Structure 1
């Protein structure tokens, strides 16, 4: 007798990397754990935008008739070798081509912004990339005034020597402060209390004190390093304002510093559109421009789920529902499902309430990404400009001069990427820049596109709530929490792991250990599929999707 085949219907809400990864895994061949039946997974992917979400904000610029379009990913998509092992393994399995992009950085501050012509962007530190092997460069502000005709040569030479000496001193201080950061980030020597500390608390805890620190200037140097390098770098990485960065759990930041030490940055060679195409190639039921407005028990079978879209279309018969969207977007939909449950489903109602309570702990911040050609957001001196240019403000927030919808508060770090020109791009056209979280807007006649995005920001409350979504199963032997083997947390499935109610699952960058980044999307999606949906259906993937 041939094995019985049954169909399991799964709805995925959201088509970012988490949703696409879940969809990709669910369309891979599966088999019964006991070999008595074959399983068929029918996947429906719902996306509110007219294009799949991971590529929805990207823009195309005409290059030349023969060269096609220049596709610019929005937001910037890069990944670090040491922090994204699952992303890299997935891309390799898919055949996605990616290349090293060891970005160089400039760190600068901007003067008062109210008058565009009078403001300045002054660079204080330049990092030449290549995991530090390319060293640092001297900002032009330390280069001294160019020699003028008739100027005393000795005075000119003294000015050059002074600038060089100051640069060497500052570089040595930065090197010591960076070494301190790495020393404290070594997992096996971290104190237990670090797991509950914020970055702000840690900065004060490890700051050099005492007579030697005062005499050598390291007390001041540490404060400068935190303010001009560490904070801007973390603010740019998390796309969060300074207060949120200082309230960020420090354990995750130190994990990031440790795991990325000596590793390379990568970008996909053919843009994120290639990733989307490969992940979605086997998805047959993709519903674009389909915003979900209500979730309810299936009227034919309360053990299943029905979804209603904004256009009135209703999709029914789902055994599982995967939220691959922001926590803030999932909460009202979970609320609608909870309110539509029958009075007899009290245990399921409580399980959904636990999910809502967990998700409410995660906070989001708006991020603005602008593609433009306005070079006034870059360092004034061309010699100071690098691939990524991080700029902080020199004024209080109450003096912001911000165009609504085009910039954020000055408590953010403004990060401008000088986009490399593609082959065939006309030489007479200006460079294109991508600025994330501008606190002054580019000139409106230079703007190519504006995108507003939402980004999860981790704090200690969210870190505690994360245990409901993701639990540590096995700690790495060397103690780095972000690399621990993890599984599904207690609120995952909304009771499906213990009874036969519909499975409601959560995935996304925030549903995994560490800083909310692309790695969390991939790992949380795999956990939901393998340990959640397939396990409760008595199924498993025929082949391991990838290994690290």
Structure 2
């Protein structure tokens, strides 16, 4: 039976998971929510930056790099008095999503009238020209500040704006074109080398065409395999520990696929997913095979990569709108639970006092009925460890009434520590040397590698034992998002803006707008067991819940934030009202869209043959056309020799 007095819920953290849980609970009758965030603003938008404006007034007051101070930009004109004022933001990190893989997220956005649109998702893959001075390769520090001082080491290498750029040669790229309604979707076509290349080196031209053919052919073949695994139920079986993919890593899956796929294909596919998962190639190969295959089968065939057009700041404002209490710049330093009153007491201090001695702090206490940890798993673990140490434990007389120090905390910490994380760096800048050399080869997403990683690299999985010192530049792909290709409202007067994740070489310091460290959950073979174990302790310890991107079945992305938030919110409402939690406020259309998605991922009887035939026919037609094109290119090449 419902209690006539409102239940109070504390949400610690205001990323998407915390905002989603707070949003639906705050609109549920009989529940009052307080959202705690240690940063000055809501966490989901904490890393975003303003687009540097080139007008005279802003240029006179801004400390951001101006066009004159930025690295070489031959296509950008100098700032003039004709430049109009422009206000805009770049979401950091980049928050793209595929609606087909994100039913919870998209239904939440739709219910709030948050606009999003399909975007050009063209890509380029290039071999990065390493600097002659090895010290300029990026080496991560052992400490991870929020903002990184990107001072270059002493070097004889000329990194001035006038210095010639080394060759970052693109070895594969494709461009996107949008079909008109009713299709209304982007489709990609591999780029062919220019006719100038054909005249200069027919052999190189033919080799490039053949490589594009191999990559495209194997890409379609891989998608056919992934779709078959999804529609036949093989992926679902793997989640249950059954079937041919059970216990198989993605690296082992690559070996199983064998010689049917070219090295050229893996030299593109591995950097693509290294960038998507922001992890090393070896970490990627340690993912369960079904996780990569499911994502590939749902997202890649449709190719509807989308972005929110209003920006994450607006998303934060709309999600936080109904929340009764939002307390930013506030750090939680203590949690106590009294079994007699069945309530929590949270102790907080202003964030600028969090590292001061206790005698210099001005703590505040508040009572709550439930606590939601909307932080990363490792952060939740650290918080629980800190508040359960002897130095901060309750006096013996009170400890018996405090179930937060019970077996639940020890068990929860053990489970949370089973979720591995890797550190990544996101740098917003204007340095074109981190892009393909030729401006004509720039695409929406640009993947740079020091070495082409082929299927031969999958013969053994050598995991990085510790991610505390950052990432290994030799073992991953850096991904640079060309912002103007998705944020088309940015005026032409603004020089090209780039957002590079896990830079392999340092951008010119004069070009850097911001640099922010993040931690990203990665998936291991036992991560599914950790998710199940965490579900078993949800609501324990008197009413403690955990939410976040790590708490899901697939790649840790925005969708897992919302699914875990809805799970925790329903669990709290069930505890308050009893029954199945039907009193929980549900965003319009979420139930129907999630049900449709569940049907898709569990396999549709009779659907697999149709899908396979469709891909098989497309694969055949493509193969014939590509072969004709390759032969024609070869013939033209021989004529010009």
The TM-score with structure 1 as length reference comes to: 0.80
Shift of 1:118: 6.9
Matched, 1:79 2:119: no
| Contact preservation (8 Å) 2:98, 2:304 | yes
- Separation of aligned partners in 2, 1:47 and 1:354: 26
Shift of 1:62: 4.4
Q: 2:273 aligns with which of 226, 234, 241?
A: 234
Matched, 1:47 2:37: yes
Q: 2:315 aligns with which of 258, 275, 278?
A: 275
Going from structure 1 to structure 2, the CA distance change for 1:352 and 1:175 (only over 3 Å counts) comes to same
| Contact preservation (8 Å) 2:280, 2:471 | no
Shift of 1:438: 0.6
Matched, 1:544 2:586: yes
- Separation of aligned partners in 2, 1:81 and 1:423: 21
Aligned pair count reads 483
| Contact preservation (8 Å) 1:14, 1:53 | yes
Map of 1:445 onto structure 2? 510
Deviations 1:468-518 (A, max 9, x none): 23xxxxxxxxxxxxxxxxxxx2011125xxxxxx20000001112211100
Shift of 1:106: 0.9
| Contact preservation (8 Å) 2:337, 2:401 | no
Map of 1:57 onto structure 2? 47
| Contact preservation (8 Å) 1:124, 1:139 | no
Going from structure 1 to structure 2, the CA distance change for 1:174 and 1:512 (only over 3 Å counts) comes to closer
Map of 2:67 onto structure 1? none
Secondary structure, aligned partner of 1:286: strand
In structure 2, the gaps of 5 or more residues are: 58-83, 134-158, 178-184, 236-241, 355-360, 454-467, 594-641
- Separation of aligned partners in 2, 1:465 and 1:406: 24
Between the two structures, name the one with larger relative contact order (CA 8 Å, sep ≥ 6): 2
| Contact preservation (8 Å) 1:371, 1:449 | yes
| Contact preservation (8 Å) 1:322, 1:504 | yes
- Separation of aligned partners in 1, 2:278 and 2:207: 37
The TM-score with structure 2 as length reference comes to: 0.69
Going from structure 1 to structure 2, the CA distance change for 1:511 and 1:428 (only over 3 Å counts) comes to closer
- Separation of aligned partners in 2, 1:163 and 1:507: 47
Shift of 1:405: 10
| Contact preservation (8 Å) 1:232, 1:390 | yes
Shift of 1:133: 3.0
Going from structure 1 to structure 2, the CA distance change for 1:282 and 1:132 (only over 3 Å counts) comes to closer
Shift of 1:382: 1.9
Shift of 1:112: 2.6
| Contact preservation (8 Å) 1:408, 1:438 | no
| Contact preservation (8 Å) 2:9, 2:371 | yes
Map of 2:168 onto structure 1? 121
Map of 2:407 onto structure 1? 350
- Separation of aligned partners in 2, 1:146 and 1:127: 19
5 Å matches for 1:127-166? 127-129=174-176, 133-139=187-193, 145=197, 147=199, 160=205, 163-164=208-209
Going from structure 1 to structure 2, the CA distance change for 1:333 and 1:187 (only over 3 Å counts) comes to farther
Deviations 1:444-484 (A, max 9, x none): 11111111111111111222211123xxxxxxxxxxxxxxx
Matched, 1:100 2:118: yes
- Separation of aligned partners in 2, 1:231 and 1:159: 24
| Contact preservation (8 Å) 2:9, 2:372 | yes
| Contact preservation (8 Å) 1:306, 1:315 | yes
Deviations 1:352-402 (A, max 9, x none): 222111100011111111111111111112222211101111299xxxxxx
Map of 1:526 onto structure 2? 566
- Separation of aligned partners in 1, 2:250 and 2:50: 39
Matched, 1:8 2:7: yes
Deviations 1:27-64 (A, max 9, x none): 1132xxxxxxxx2x221111111110000110113435
- Separation of aligned partners in 2, 1:446 and 1:407: 22
Matched, 1:188 2:252: no
Q: 2:482 aligns with which of 418, 439, 462?
A: 418
Map of 2:257 onto structure 1? 206
Shift of 1:338: 4.3
Shift of 1:435: 0.7
CA RMSD of aligned residues (A): 3.1
